[in-house]
């Protein structure tokens, strides 16, 4: 559906030259001289590449409808991840390329938001943080402060993260899925 650049908002999906782009950031600019324009940061839905793009205010652009659905991760099947829609119990196969590095934080039963366009999955968004059990870490040496009081730890998904020295094997830690940083430990 054709609308104008005045309708752009964060999260809008635009069809530019046959490719889908998500608006990450936008700013309407009205300079003292000259016409108004819209400065945007857009991200290619398929490749993930981000670019800066400026549009004239009021210019017609094609907006696309994207269906965001909450699905629960079930299991991995070869090169695909199988997710289940908990309302219809339909199983959806998502190619591993859409998951990418997020796989390190994906546990069975994790609720993810998956964006679809015309029935084709476009992107998978994990929750901002997940709880993971530490399966291996060395004991923390109290005198060792050369690495700011952190040590490597392996969590149940196989990912290696940096945790404080007091974390021991078997503890459950909260991990940021965007950068893999330690956010805290889960207390019983």
In this structure, the answer to whether residues 22 and 35 fall within a common structural domain is yes
Beta-strand pair 150-155/80-84: unpaired
One domain for residues 55 and 71: no
pLDDT at 140: 66
Split into its structural domains, the chain has a count of: 3
Residue at which a domain ends, from 125, 159, 175: 125
Q: Could you list the pLDDT tens digit for every one of the 188 residues in the chain?
A: 558 888 888 878 888 888 888 888 888 888 888 888 889 898 887 777 888 989 888 888 888 888 888 899 888 888 888 999 888 888 888 888 778 788 888 888 889 888 888 888 877 888 888 888 888 888 866 655 555 678 888 888 888 888 888 888 888 999 888 888 888 888 76
| Co-location of 50 and 91 in the same domain | no
Domain residue limits at 52: 2-63
- Residue 81's domain is classified under what CATH number? 2.40.50.140
Residue-wise over 32-68: b if at least 16 C-beta within 10 A, else e?
eeeeebbebbbbebeeeeeeeeebeeeeebebbebee
């Amino acid at each position: 559906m054709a609308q104008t650049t005045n309708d752009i908002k964060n999260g809008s999906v635009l069809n530019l030259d046959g490719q889908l782009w998500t608006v990450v950031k936008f700013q309407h600019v009205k300079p003292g001289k000259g016409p108004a324009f819209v400065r945007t940061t857009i991200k290619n839905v398929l490749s993930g590449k981000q670019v800066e793009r400026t549009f004239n205010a009021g210019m017609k652009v094609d907006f696309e409808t994207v269906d965001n659905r909450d699905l629960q991760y079930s299991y991995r099947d070869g090169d695909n991840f199988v997710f289940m829609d908990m309302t219809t119990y339909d199983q959806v196969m998502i190619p591993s390329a859409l998951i990418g590095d997020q796989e390190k934080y994906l546990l069975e039963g994790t609720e993810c938001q998956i964006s679809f366009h015309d029935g084709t999955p476009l992107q998978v968004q994990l929750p901002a943080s997940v709880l993971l059990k530490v399966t291996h870490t060395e004991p923390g040496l109290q005198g060792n402060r050369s690495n700011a009081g952190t040590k490597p730890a392996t969590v149940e998904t196989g990912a290696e993260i940096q945790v404080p020295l007091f974390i021991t094997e078997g503890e459950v830690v909260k991990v940021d899925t965007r950068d893999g940083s330690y956010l805290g430990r889960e207390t019983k």
